[in-house]
Structure 1
Amino acid sequence: MLRTMFAIACWLASGSPAFAQAGTDTPFRDYDAGNYRAALAGAEAALETESENPVWWALLAETQARLGGHAEAAEAFATAGRFETDAAKRSYFLRAQALQLVYADRHDEARAIVRAAMDEPLLETRNSLDWAMVAISARDDRSAQDVLDNEALYGKFTRQTALDAAYSAKRRGMDQRAVGFFKLGLALDAEEETPLGPVQREGIRRENRELTRDWSFIAQASFSSAGRPIGPANTSLGDERASQFGAEVSRRIGGWRNGRPFSIFARAYHSEFLSDDAAGGNAMQGWVGVRYKPLSQINLNLEASRLIGLDDDGLDDWSLRAAISGGQGLEPEAGKRSWAYAHYYGDVSYLTDADVTFGLVDGRAGYSFLLDESATVLTPYAVARLGVDTGRLEEEALGAGVGISLRHWFDETDTIAYRGFIDFDVQARQRIAGDRRASGILATLTIGR
């Protein structure tokens, strides 16, 4: 990223014909010494006789910026650019003007400067990494990535410029380019005096994981006397002993879409019940549908699917579903052997033909312990769960209890975080209110990638 000030006084004063005509270096000496008010007064005095000298306008802009007058500095840089005939220096003044507008929180005006500059061939903006960084500062990722179409600029990257370019490409939905920039930033970290910390590196590796995950798979086996596990299926397991086995595969269409992916999926689950279920008995059930995550910062997924009975007891129906989840400490935390764990999950689905709604709210809090170097985690936790099934006489069931999870992560690289896991989870809950299905044992084995 460009610095707040470009130290323009140094290179302008040393080689500028305009400065030679000015005939004094006192204001520049004041600027170099940090006497910005004196430098400002000197620049203003010089402009009284040389009102079209871009050097004095540039010095005026620099000193105003140093004194916190970013809007005034932007105006002075604009004036310097108007009077400057050298294309390279004019390009410099326009970049400085745009940055000062950013610091003044006038991003719309900064973007206008960037886009006007992009239309001036003499400024050669597409040969300048500085222009790409200024565009990113102005929140103009389109222009930034337009500049970064020039691969010759990549050799000029530092770690920070590579990472800034990566996040910009991610916002534009340019997933493969973003991954390349993130990987370059991690490689360039070795050249920095202050390397990234383990948490920062892990955050970048997780960015790469999400950007490269075009498909996912999850398989699950469970035994329950207390409702269904948290997973892909969206039907109840009944209120007595039941087992369920199944899998889901999904494919993203259009990539990560800056945190708003769209996917198609297919799943099949076989359920064995020891008592009749409101929506169906023992059944082999299939689903085919679509899933969309509309909010980039919140893990909310909306789903529409067609239920397909895969045996005589399966259902043919339509399902609408919404699920939300979040928490902290859900993955191994870099540099730690133990950490706080919290997880919440909410899920509601509606079968249109059967006119049945299934709902689930599950909250957990506990503590996680790393059992090996980085990949195997044991988490004991307390859990509270509310289930709703409108196909039952007693629709609600509220319970609470304890559980323990053993999870092993796998499939990572130096630049991509763990993509797969195997999890064995057991919990015991006691009914607090509502139906008796709130009490019981739930054991679940899940494999996902």
Structure 2
Amino acid sequence: MLSPLDLSLIHGPIPAAATVAAALALTYLAIRKNRTWWTRVLPIVLAACVVVVLGLTFVIDNVWKPWPEPLPVILTVWAGAALTALALAAARLRSGRWYGRVFGVLLALGVATSAVVATNAHFGQYPSMRAVLDVFTNNQVELNEAAPPPSGVVEVPAGKKLADVWKRPDDLPDKGTVSEVPIPGVFPARPAWVYLPPAYATTPRPKLPVIVLLAGQPGHPKHWIDGGRVVDNLDAYAREHDGLAPIVVVADQLGANNANPLCFDSALGQSESYLARDVPAWIKQRLTVDERREAWTIAGFSQGATCSVQLAVRAPDVYGNFIALAPQREPTLGTRQDTVKAAFGGDEAAFIRVNPMDILARQRFPQSAGVIVSGHDDATYRQADAEVFEACRKAGMDVLWKELPTGHDWNMAREGLFGSLPWFMQRTGVVR
């Protein structure tokens, strides 16, 4: 039977019940048998909450601008609902019996909780309560323990695939391992997360392909471990392929949750050099991997997808493949003018030299391949995704287009990445 921990927090009864409960709680909090309440308190509270939420939205979207796209309307609505509930509960503290005041506070907290549930359902970050609880667990293994030096390596004859010579060992582990480890370099990156599939723990050890994976912005590498469910999905793939799956290194291209150095070498940092030079060098030195460029893929979601396209054209000798999950048309801090000013001191020619869409227009990449995944309901990026796909196709890349019935959310990111695994494993020469 399905565990309650595995019930969906994205679809079905839980998010629906949270919305209904919030509506009922707000209705209760808004109604009182008091003329002053209806003529003064309630109108003032509602007007103040509207002003505060709209003001904060304006500041975030137009002054602070921590990310290029505006706040989704659903976040503004739920923020207003939560603030209104808390304000109404506070107004009720002035009168009434103690248990009525406590009940009002609990209802307000319930509305705030419903807002969190609805926000999660919108972005699809945590598909179940088990995924939420995994944030607080520590299932990682020290990399020195998970990846000791190999005592033997599987040799693959010319013209063969790894699957042709790979035999499932009797002592194959049921699951892979995940480790948190710093990757030093020219960029002040946060620690990366490394997934090693079950086959990596065997002797002799196969040389496996590599995915360097990037989160969106705002974001953190661990978001792919928690919300992205990398371990669960790759373990599931490995079980169907005798322990074989890619090595995944979730690297940090941001430096901080709300930072956006644009994956360039610029005034904002040397994110490009870090991903194109330092991270691959560390992986090849520390892990047993297939070092052919055809076996290396750069992948990411949202800003990480934009970065993936950048690395595919800026470092094609390193990354032969890319998986871009809802990329932007070009790296951006909101506008071309803001981007050029912050990163290149206003020198637009410097931006054009490294902007992937401009590079694709003047160079060809017949030895590169990629997948561009877009959400059908992604009003912000779907058109941009299609333009990036067309530019890659015209530049000679072997590129695939996938459109999923989702928005710009983790549902698309998870399905897009793991739906691309068969293509990736065949492309990298592991399976036929």
TM range, normalised to the smaller chain? under 0.3
Answer 1 or 2: which has greater helix percent: 2
Answer 1 or 2: which has greater strand percent: 1
Task: Using CA pairs under 8 Å that are at least 6 residues apart, name the structure with larger relative contact order, 1 or 2.
Answer: 2
TM-score scaled by length of structure 2: 0.28
TM-score scaled by length of structure 1: 0.27
